[in-house]
Amino acid sequence: MPQRLHLVFGGELKDPQKTEFENPNDIHIVGMFPDYASAYDAWKSEAQRTVDNAHMRYFIAHIHRLRDEATEGSSTEELGG
């Protein structure tokens, strides 16, 4: 069974109706998780912790969807060549 990695991250948004971060250098990386359930638990914990800040948002990125090992990589995938 392939790994289903998930990244949980968040930060303060410029506008709570959009997904552009106020300062990308301040993005909080919560962590990488081996399954959706544990990523969801981490996301929920951070979202509840920051519920009083309407501009703060956390997201779950499905890292396993970004790369398919069966598909040939693009020419920009490998640095330096």
State whether CATH 3.30.70.2400 applies to domain 6-65. yes
State the 10-residue block means of pLDDT for the chain, 81 residues long. Answer: 86 95 96 95 96 95 76 51 43
Strand partners, 74: none
- Residue-level pLDDT at 3: 76
Domain boundaries, the chain: 6-65
Q: pTM for this one?
A: 0.77
- Predicted pLDDT of residue 65: 79
Task: Supply the pLDDT for residue 80.
Answer: 46
pLDDT of residue 70: 63
Residues contacting residue 61 through CB under 8 Å, at least 6 positions apart: 6, 7, 8, 9
